[in-house]
Amino acid sequence: MDQKIVNYAKGDINIKQQNIYPPNQEPPQPNPHNLSNSNIPRFVGRDQELIDLKKQLQQSQKLAISTLTGMGGIGKTELARQFGWQEWREKAYPGGICWLNVAESDGGFIGTSILDFARVHLKLNLPDEGELDVKIRYCWQNWLAGNVLIIFDDVRDYQQIRDYLPPQEDKRFHVLITTRKEYLSATIATFRVEVLKEKDALDLLRSYLEDNRIDTQIEAAKLLCQDLGYLPLALELVARLLVRRQDWKISKIRQKLAENGLDEPILAKNPKFHGEMTAERGLKAAFNLSWEELHSEPEAQILALYLSLFALAPFPKGMILDLFPDEDGDTVEEWLTDSLVHLSLVQDNRDGWYEIHPLLRRYFRDKLEASPHAEPAKRRYCGIMAKKSAEMPQDTTVEIVEEFKPFLLHLQTSVGEYSQYIADEDLLWSYTGLALYYEGQGLYAIAEPYCQDCLTATRTHLGDNHPDVATSLNNLALLYQSQGRYTEAEPLYLEALDLTKRLLGDNHPHVATSLNNLALLYDCQGRYTEAEPLYLEALDLRKQLLGDNHPDVATSLNNLAELYRSQGRYTEAEPLYLEALDLRKQLLGDNHPHVASSLNNLAELYRSQGRYTEAEPLFLEALDLTKRLLGDNHPHVALSLNNLALLYNSQGRYTEAEPLYLEALDLRKQLLGDNHPLVATSLNNLALLYQSQGRYTEAEPLYLEALDLRKRLLGDNHPDVASSLNNLAYLYYSQGRYEEAEPLFLEALDLTKRLLGDNHPHVALSLNNLALLYNSQGRYTEAEPLYLQALDLYKRLLGDNHPHVAQSLNNLAGLYDSQGRYTEAEPLYLQALDLYKRLLGDNHPHVAQSLNNLAGLYDSQGRYTEAEPLYLQALDLHKRLLGDNHPHVAQSLNNLAALYDSQGRYTEAEPLYLEALDLYKRLLGDNHPHVATSLNNLAGLYDSQGRYTEAEPLYLEALDLTKRLLGDNHPHVATSLNNLAGLYYSQGRYTEAEPLYSEALQICEQSLGIAHPTTMTVRGNYAICLRRGR
């Protein structure tokens, strides 16, 4: 018969261990322990640590050992005790929990403690014979059944406990060790205990105080927690004192700590209340224990003193090594890692960066100040920081900001706390790097004190006559210039120039730089006649000193060309731009950021001249080159995107311009942060685009955001703020919101005058815009002197031959045209046209616009045969320059159609009106004021032809669109109402016409005034209707 093998179980067979006790021996109590009670009211902030510690101890397949490590006062002992009590309550260790105080005990004491626990709590009869290790081994072998937790508290060295650990292969035993050492053995898992989070630190204070003092003084309490570095021992000492000092405010505690530091009695353990705390020592005494362990390592102690100079922030290993340039790097790293980090006096963040707890830093600093190492340590520290500060580039990006941010507090500490230890040769860069850091982000108010302190420090230490003083003057002036504080910048530039000349002689490259900077300031102020000779002198000096072929010469050529472009001296600017571009290519190669800058500037010149087909490839080349050289994410890329978008905007290629403006805005936000002047510029440009498209509701919030940003970053008194006010006012003007526009125009004008003086092109622009508003309101007597003043100003500042002068002549002519002063308007229109042709050539959009305006004048006078060829010429020019698809082409089509309409040439007018309407809709969308105007004009044509059923829906659509886009009280709404009323009047529908005339008249009187020609026309129509109606 075959024998069968039966598998009774597929898993392991578990045999339950049972302890057999000799006769008359009392069995132990279940779940035995020797844990002492905790003296804290409530254990807070360590819930996750308790969970993680439990997991760590359960992971091992053999003897599980975990080490709670951390600096003195971090709460290791209390965490171990709380863990022990938690596990006891959960009966996780039925074999018992044995607490062993190690500290400075010798091995014999530890071994005796284990035997005592076995006798008392396990009821073991220990053998009388044998050495201590034999008896301990007996204990481990005969320990109570079930898992066992052994806690070694305050272990100073692994050798103290090595011979007293349970057997490695017995996985019942779990061992928990508390120590200040970073690690005890490579075989032991480390559990780092960190300081408390702010919320938990506050809860710890609340657990002692039941009088609501923490919450009623919450901000002071948060600062107190920060002062104490969220260290549990420090927080407990302070909390217990507050319990005994019911009338003390938290601010008083902070003041005493600030004055006395670690010597403050608050942080010492009061012997009168010795038994109330878990900790055996006060804070300084706890730190002393670790410090004394370094007694035989004086080099490590000196390193700790040096490290106290760093700010309360992580610091890199490289800078630590730099503190001891004469020592081998490996040796310094040994002091750092094997001594300071090992004793938890310095925290290794595991990424090459290290950190010191605030209270330990204060402890080390006190020792440093009392040592002979203080002065050399501070000098060395300042030298390291100056070297780092000098690495800050002129062009700041978010990437660079992020790269420097970890060093920021350390750099600030150098100039803030140890400025008297900065070497003379390091003064300039110690401050300048910080100034550049903030200046590059547009944070001028934060940068300013560093520039001012730099000037003070260089003057104090180096005397008034030193090149670094001149550089400091120049840097402060440059900052003021960026803030629009021109009157403060000028004397600094002049002083820097004078000092540089006296120190280095008239013929020195630094003198040329000073001349160039002063010229730039005058250029910004519109003081072109003062800027030009300085630019020329700087150029000449650079050529003499550096030769014709030098990058600085190219810079001078470029700056002079920019000046000429600002003055409209395009024929003089172009060869300089070309020479600068050619020179940069020769010297720097085709692939260099300065070449990209030159391409961009030349393209901008061509755009100003309306040479769009020449400008576009240069803008594209500059953009491509900038991306290749600097990467897609760089402020110069954003600038190139912005300029290309500006070109497309000028050409009416709005759908191509918008994504570029958006990309530039997004890039600037990414690179420079949301709060930067260039972000405000991008917001402003995008708003201008939307305004051009009639997307007023989208433009307004962008203008407002740009204005707010400029005010916050640059202050209320800056030219860019004036520009923003002007742009917002112009938007309101375009919408017919004249009452809102006027105070903004006036504020912009006043601000521009105060900042730039009465004689500046921006003042002329402000005068012109305000006059434009008054012209639209029929306030002709107020508009005329402003137009004349603007014209005179442009002529004086820019000369008789400048496009702005032509524009002023055109605007003044438009005013006279509106007033019917045709004989005065015509020569101005002709002069403007001639000037545009001479300055910009026959082929420019401004020439086309001038032809259109002159044609409009002839049209108004009934001089149709003179008007028609001008309209046709303007239309042809617009098409050739801007392409068939541009709003200006639509405008030309509309005007030519209106001429034919006036002549009764309806069959010729209608297709032009239809083409203009279609073009406006395609380019600007269905919702744009120009579309409403086109609808109105087409309706007028049908009205003139008696095609009333076709005219009425167009008039109604135009009226509805105008109201939606411009509001109910806009002059264009009045025009639409008047035209619709005229249609009804023509049809004899007087009762429908009458209220429309009445509404139109009310709007005109409110928005344009009672004496405006349009108001008088509507009033006359209304009167005729009333008479006919009766």
* Alpha-helical regions (H) of 567-653: 570-588, 593-608, 612-630, 635-650
Q: Is residue 926 part of a domain?
A: no
Q: Quick: pLDDT tens for 968-997.
A: 988 889 999 999 999 999 999 999 999 999
Report the alpha-carbon angle 201-205-209, nearest 5.
165
List Cβ neighbours of 977 (8 Å cut-off, separation of 6 or more): 959, 996, 997, 999, 1000, 1003
Same domain, 95 and 159: yes
What is the model's pLDDT at position 670?
87
Residue 172 located in a structural domain: yes
Q: How many CB atoms lie within 10 A of CB 568?
A: 23
Lowest mean pLDDT among 80-84, 582-586, 759-763: 759-763
Q: What pLDDT score does 3 carry?
A: 35
At 916-950, the pLDDT tens digits run: 999 999 887 898 888 999 999 999 999 999 999 99
pLDDT greater than 80 at residue 880: yes
pLDDT of residue 625: 94
pLDDT score recorded for residue 87: 95
Given a contact cutoff of 8 angstroms between Cβ atoms, the answer to whether 601 and 584 are in contact is no
Region at 29 (left for phi over 0; alpha for psi -120 to 50; beta for the rest): beta
Same domain, 210 and 94: no
DSSP letter at 336 equals: I
- Give me the domain span that covers residue 275: 198-284
Q: Tell me, yes or no, whether 81 and 62 share the same domain.
A: yes
Is the pLDDT assigned to residue 829 strictly greater than 50?
Answer: yes
Rounded (10°) CA dihedral 660, 662, 663, 669? 140
Last residue of one domain, picked from the residues 259, 284, 309: 284
Number of neighbours of residue 13 by Cβ within 10 angstroms: 6
Mean pLDDT on 818-828:
92
Average pLDDT over residues 528-553: 96
Q: Is there a domain that residue 721 lies in?
A: no
As a dihedral over the C-alpha atoms of residue 715, residue 719, residue 722, residue 724, rounded to 10 degrees, the angle is -90
The answer on 226 and 169 residing in a single domain is no
Within 10 A of 25 (CB to CB), how many other CB atoms are there?
10
| Domain identity same for 272 and 220 | yes
SS3 102: strand
What pTM was estimated for this model as a whole?
0.76
Residue 536, pLDDT score: 98
Q: What is the pLDDT of residue 112?
A: 92
The reply to whether 595 falls in a domain is yes
Instruction: Single out the residue in 168, 192, 216 at which a domain terminates.
Output: 192
pLDDT tens sequence across 752-780 = 999 888 988 899 999 999 999 998 877 88
Q: Go through the chain and tell me how many residues it has.
A: 1030
Q: Which of 175, 192, 209 is the last residue of a domain?
A: 192
Consecutive H or E run containing 198: helix 198-208
Tokens 């008034």 identify what position? 464
Same domain as 180, residue 143: yes
**Are residues 163 and 202 both part of a single domain?**
no
* C-beta of residue 651 within 8 angstroms of C-beta of residue 611: no
Shared-domain flag, residues 243 and 153: no
Query: How many folded domains does the chain comprise?
Result: 3
Q: Are residues 56 and 188 in the same domain?
A: yes
Structure token pair of residue 19: 């302890």
**Does residue 264 belong to any structural domain of this protein?**
yes
> CATH number for the domain including 183?
3.40.50.300
Q: Is residue 109 part of a domain?
A: yes
Contacts of 602 (CB under 8 A, 6+ apart): 574, 577, 578, 581, 618
Q: Domain for residue 24, yes or no?
A: no
**Domain identity same for 256 and 208:** yes
Question: Do both 246 and 171 map to the same domain?
Answer: no
The pLDDT value given to residue 104: 66
Helix axes 654-672, 677-692, angle to 10 degrees: 160
The pLDDT score that the predictor gives to residue 26 is 64
Report the C-alpha gap between 104 and 106 in whole angstroms.
7
Nearest CA to 482 out of 446, 513, 529 is that of 446
Residues 254, 124: one domain? Answer: no
* 216 in a structural domain: yes
